Chains A and B, each alone.
Chain A
Amino acid sequence: MHAVNHNLDEKFNFTSSLKKKVFIVGIAGLLLMIAGIFTTSSGDHHGEESHEAVAEVVVQDQDQHGEDHALDAEDSPGEASHEAQPHGEFSWADRLKADLWINNMYFTGLAIIGVFFFAIQYVSQSGWSAGILRIPMAFGAWLPIAFVLMLIGYFWGGHEIFHWTHGYLYDKSSPLFDSIINGKAAFFFWPTEPSGDYPFPIFWFVRLVLFFALWYYMFVTMRKTALKEDIDPSTKYWHKLVKQGAVFLVIFAVTSSVSAWDWVLSIDTHWFSTMFGWYVFASWWVSGLAAITLIVCLLKGAGYLSVVNSNHLHDLGKFVFAFSIFWTYIWFSQFLLIYYANIPEETIYFIERMSSHQYAPFFYFNLIINFFFPFLFLMTRESKRHLAFLKIACIAVLAGHWIDFYLMITPGVLKENGTFGLMEIGSAMFFGAAFTFVALTSLAKYPLVPKNHPMLEESLHHHI
């Protein structure tokens, strides 16, 4: 066992040919997006489709809970305002904004899950993962870009993405006044009262800035400590990282939930779900694990990471397998209670998604690709120990959770006008290439293996 010589100083070489490949994917994505924009803006039959869909939803709504007048009456101002919005017609720009927000949420998730994984390995004092820690650490480099994209998303597309940004909802003299959203105003606008056409959501915005600042600060702090360890072989950095990781986990426990409410749940402003923070976290976590596993597999396939053997792959595979089930558990917990209780204000969320011809295929596809596929595909021991199998499963999970975020965001932003086409595929490719480029550039800066990690020896002998 000791005979194997590992090159612990090896660095990932982000070659120009690899860079070129990433760029080609990005440019192809951009071109697909532009092609998508042209086909969307030239098509004019969207209006008719939408009327049909509205009628469909309304009919089903009445079927389900026609008796409940009290609740319906309370719901109606909100419904009315949806239809009377000044921008009731949806253009390609709105769709682009929705796509931007999906990608923002998805790739912010991957980046922060990289930091989360890094932290949790130290806090749990894990030995097996010592050799792969630099890969999740590289993901954090996306955070500042994600922050800029979030700002662009808010300032450019905030009013189309978030219904609650409209001032008339809070104006009692307006016919579009919405008592439900008005009741939630403090969550966005505290300490001010919303006034004017487009009131500025101070509290919401402060949270956005604060979360990214905390995440990035913790990421940079932990990275600094980890890199000091490379120069100075001492266990004190490991102990320091355990503490820093614990601090980050406490921060992340709160911020992951609140960011899910802020950035995703608030799109469907009337609706609420106490599972939502966990739901977004579960989706982030499993797609982050799949991204880490995929990059480990690709590096291994390219001849890097001799410290990783099939036992480490097995553990990563188990992570993807287990947390696919975890995501399903959370998804189903949210779904079943709403289905069973059958309260109109809650079921509307699933009626929009399950009972509309635009989203229903994705709704079921979401479950198939994110649960049934990884569950059956990664069930056996051997499938978790082979690069080819793991790669297929990880790509499926990564694509599947993009669809998951599509289902969280697009129906709320575009209502019945949402479609899935070149723009969505192109934007995912474009963002994916950008994320890969940033993560790999960051990965290439430091040695691939933390050579002075006190548990590296344990990791080398990891055996399950």
Chain B
Amino acid sequence: MDTGKNYLVGIFSDEDDVMSGVPKIKEAGVKIEEVYTPYPVHGLEHVLGYSKSKLPMIAFFFGLTGTTLALVMQIGMMYWDWPMIIGGKDFLALPDFIPVTFELTVLLTAFGMVGTFFVTRNLKPWAKPKIFDIRSTDDKFAMAIDLAVNKKSVEEIRTILSEAGASEVNEKSFE
């Protein structure tokens, strides 16, 4: 069975049920792919055992790229390629370069992070989003369990989810 095709979706109707249910389900040996919530739930990422986000590092390097690019561009233009005297300053008037450097640092960080978001969330124009349950944008909490990575049978997982507090358990398949 291929991964990412056949799912069991546990629907929870309360935040507390999800928070208390996740450890029980994990303890029973079921691997949870993701939990979709209508709003950010504090502490859920800890319960699910997510590793530390790499986003700050990625942002830092996008910023560093911006800083470098801005300085290389300005020094290249104003000092090396076509030296110009502006306001009686030196060709290499570093204080003058700082606002542009700052702006490009911010700009590249922002663009880079939007790009990172699109790439990591699979938001290509031609990508078909996986919607496990449309109600996860309204008032329900949807827990996606990939059947391909779990050895237990559908029935077993269904019982574990219900016992952990799921109000309903649905099957969902994607092409």
Residue positions of A touching B, CB distance < 8 A: 332, 335-336, 339-340, 342, 379-381, 463
* Residue on B nearest A341 in the bound complex, by CB: B87
**Cβ–Cβ < 8 Å partners of B98 in chain A:** 332, 336
**B125 in the interface (beta carbon within 8 A):** no
Other 14 A-B pairs with CB < 8 A, given A336-B95, A336-B96: A332-B95, A332-B98, A335-B95, A336-B98, A339-B95, A339-B96, A340-B87, A340-B89, A340-B95, A340-B96, A342-B87, A342-B89, A463-B42, A463-B43
Distance in angstroms between the alpha carbons of A339 and B88 in the assembled complex: 11
Question: 10 tightest CB-CB pairs across the interface, nearest first?
Answer: A339-B95, A336-B95, A340-B87, A342-B88, A463-B42, A342-B87, A332-B98, A340-B96, A335-B95, A463-B43
* Residue on B nearest A65 in the bound complex, by CB: B88
Q: Are B88 and A380 in contact (CB under 8 A)?
A: no
* Residue on A nearest B99 in the bound complex, by CB: A336
Nearest-CB distance from A134 to chain B (Å)? Answer: 28
**Cβ–Cβ < 8 Å partners of B56 in chain A:** 380-381
Nearest-CB distance from A370 to chain B (Å)? Answer: 16
**Cβ–Cβ < 8 Å partners of B95 in chain A:** 332, 335-336, 339-340
Distance in angstroms between the alpha carbons of A294 and B88 in the assembled complex: 45
Chain B 29-52 interface mask (CB, 8 Å, partner A; 1/0)? 000000000000011000000000
Distance in angstroms between the alpha carbons of A337 and B83 in the assembled complex: 22
Distance in angstroms between the alpha carbons of A371 and B43 in the assembled complex: 33
Nearest-CB distance from A310 to chain B (Å)? Answer: 14
Nearest-CB distance from B144 to chain A (Å)? Answer: 26
**Cβ–Cβ < 8 Å partners of A379 in chain B:** 60
Chain B 74-102 interface mask (CB, 8 Å, partner A; 1/0)? 00000000000001110000011011000
**Cβ–Cβ < 8 Å partners of A332 in chain B:** 95, 98
**Cβ–Cβ < 8 Å partners of A463 in chain B:** 42-43
**Cβ–Cβ < 8 Å partners of A339 in chain B:** 95-96
Distance in angstroms between the alpha carbons of A339 and B90 in the assembled complex: 12
21 contacts between A and B (CB under 8 A): A332-B95, A332-B98, A335-B95, A336-B95, A336-B96, A336-B98, A336-B99, A339-B95, A339-B96, A340-B87, A340-B89, A340-B95, A340-B96, A342-B87, A342-B88, A342-B89, A379-B60, A380-B56, A381-B56, A463-B42, A463-B43
Distance in angstroms between the alpha carbons of A339 and B87 in the assembled complex: 10
Distance in angstroms between the alpha carbons of A381 and B60 in the assembled complex: 13
Chain B 53-65 interface mask (CB, 8 Å, partner A; 1/0)? 0001000100000
**Cβ–Cβ < 8 Å partners of A336 in chain B:** 95-96, 98-99
**Cβ–Cβ < 8 Å partners of B43 in chain A:** 463
Distance in angstroms between the alpha carbons of A379 and B96 in the assembled complex: 25
Distance in angstroms between the alpha carbons of A407 and B4 in the assembled complex: 63
Distance in angstroms between the alpha carbons of A340 and B95 in the assembled complex: 9
Distance in angstroms between the alpha carbons of A339 and B95 in the assembled complex: 8
**Cβ–Cβ < 8 Å partners of A342 in chain B:** 87-89
**Cβ–Cβ < 8 Å partners of A380 in chain B:** 56
Distance in angstroms between the alpha carbons of A245 and B42 in the assembled complex: 31
**Cβ–Cβ < 8 Å partners of B88 in chain A:** 342
Interface residues of B in 112-165 (CB under 8 A from A): none
Nearest-CB distance from A303 to chain B (Å)? Answer: 27
* Residue on B nearest A463 in the bound complex, by CB: B42
Nearest-CB distance from B54 to chain A (Å)? Answer: 12
Distance in angstroms between the alpha carbons of A54 and B43 in the assembled complex: 64
**Cβ–Cβ < 8 Å partners of B60 in chain A:** 379
Distance in angstroms between the alpha carbons of A381 and B42 in the assembled complex: 18
Nearest-CB distance from A327 to chain B (Å)? Answer: 15
Distance in angstroms between the alpha carbons of A402 and B95 in the assembled complex: 24
**Cβ–Cβ < 8 Å partners of B87 in chain A:** 340, 342
Nearest-CB distance from A250 to chain B (Å)? Answer: 32
Nearest-CB distance from B98 to chain A (Å)? Answer: 7
Distance in angstroms between the alpha carbons of A335 and B56 in the assembled complex: 31
Distance in angstroms between the alpha carbons of A336 and B89 in the assembled complex: 12
Nearest-CB distance from B76 to chain A (Å)? Answer: 21
Nearest-CB distance from A124 to chain B (Å)? Answer: 21
Distance in angstroms between the alpha carbons of A381 and B96 in the assembled complex: 32
Nearest-CB distance from A371 to chain B (Å)? Answer: 12
Distance in angstroms between the alpha carbons of A342 and B85 in the assembled complex: 14
* Residue on B nearest A379 in the bound complex, by CB: B60
**Cβ–Cβ < 8 Å partners of B42 in chain A:** 463
Nearest-CB distance from B47 to chain A (Å)? Answer: 13
Distance in angstroms between the alpha carbons of A380 and B59 in the assembled complex: 12
Distance in angstroms between the alpha carbons of A332 and B87 in the assembled complex: 18
Nearest-CB distance from B74 to chain A (Å)? Answer: 15
**Cβ–Cβ < 8 Å partners of A381 in chain B:** 56
Nearest-CB distance from B157 to chain A (Å)? Answer: 31
Distance in angstroms between the alpha carbons of A381 and B59 in the assembled complex: 14
Distance in angstroms between the alpha carbons of A381 and B88 in the assembled complex: 43
Distance in angstroms between the alpha carbons of A340 and B98 in the assembled complex: 12
